Amino acid sequence: MSEVEAVPHDFEVSEPWMLEDLAVDAFSVEDAIATFKDEIELRLGNRPVARSVRSLFKLAKKQLPPEIAALKGETYLIAHAIGAAAKKGAGRIDSVQLRASFAGAGTTIDLVPNTVFKEFVKAGLKFEAGLGADGYAKVPSIELPDVGQVVTLGAGAELKLSTEASVVGNLSVSLVTPKIQAVGRSSTLVSWQIDKDQKPLVGDQVLVQTITVPKGQESITFTLQAFATIDPGVLAFRKVPIQTKPTEVAVELG
């Protein structure tokens, strides 16, 4: 099975005028922007990966609960990824954000991770939640009998399938920081805000969205965009926003 992978994307400084405070005769705003682009890397998932709840139940050799199978919609896990890297000055990366939207019929059921539930973040920055057949995360996760099948999603995220009749399995996501907020339930537009904590905000983060779409739909098109805020350093009083251009990606629904 394929995994989502974050890859470098070109970015622009959203508000270049904010760098004018740094400009001197020997160092212009353009020089500051060029330095950002040389030293900072903003990474975005090359292609979200879709897994249908129905196919995951089949992989675990069990049937969907009748009340779920009778629903008009089909439920999918969508794995996204975002990340940042720095040649130097990694501590300057203050936050990163992913916005993802999709066109057409359907809606978002749930978003993971979301450290509104930060009390359930385990040692080593692991977020774990049970995933119900209805697409909702069950926090805290519970000990479930498993079938020895693990579906890897990328960057330390995996789903351990269960024999429990009403549960897909336990979803485990490695976190680059405990400060992650997610919004967008019951919407086609979602976002995750990932803020620096005590360690530099570098590395890739897998983000999982569960959605429902009409049965029979074969693909879905996402528009993805990454954002970050950067501390320019000496003589700067405001953090400067950067962003990639929106990227459209078609995802096959299997």
Find the angle CA(79)-CA(210)-CA(198) to the nearest 5 degrees: 60
- Tokens 């009778």, residue? 70
Torsion of CA 112, 117, 122, 124, to 10 degrees: 60
| Pick from 100, 82, 101: nearest CA to 195 | 82
Q: How would you write the pLDDT of the chain (254 residues) with one tens digit per residue?
A: 578 989 999 999 998 887 776 665 556 778 878 888 899 999 999 889 999 999 999 998 999 999 999 999 999 999 999 999 998 888 889 999 999 999 999 999 999 988 666 655 654 678 888 899 999 998 766 666 666 788 998 888 899 998 888 889 999 898 888 889 999 999 999 999 999 988 899 999 999 999 999 999 999 999 999 999 998 776 566 788 999 999 999 999 97
- Helix or strand or coil: residue 80? strand
Which are the contacts of 248, defined by CB distance < 8 A and separation ≥ 6?
Answer: 221, 222, 223, 224
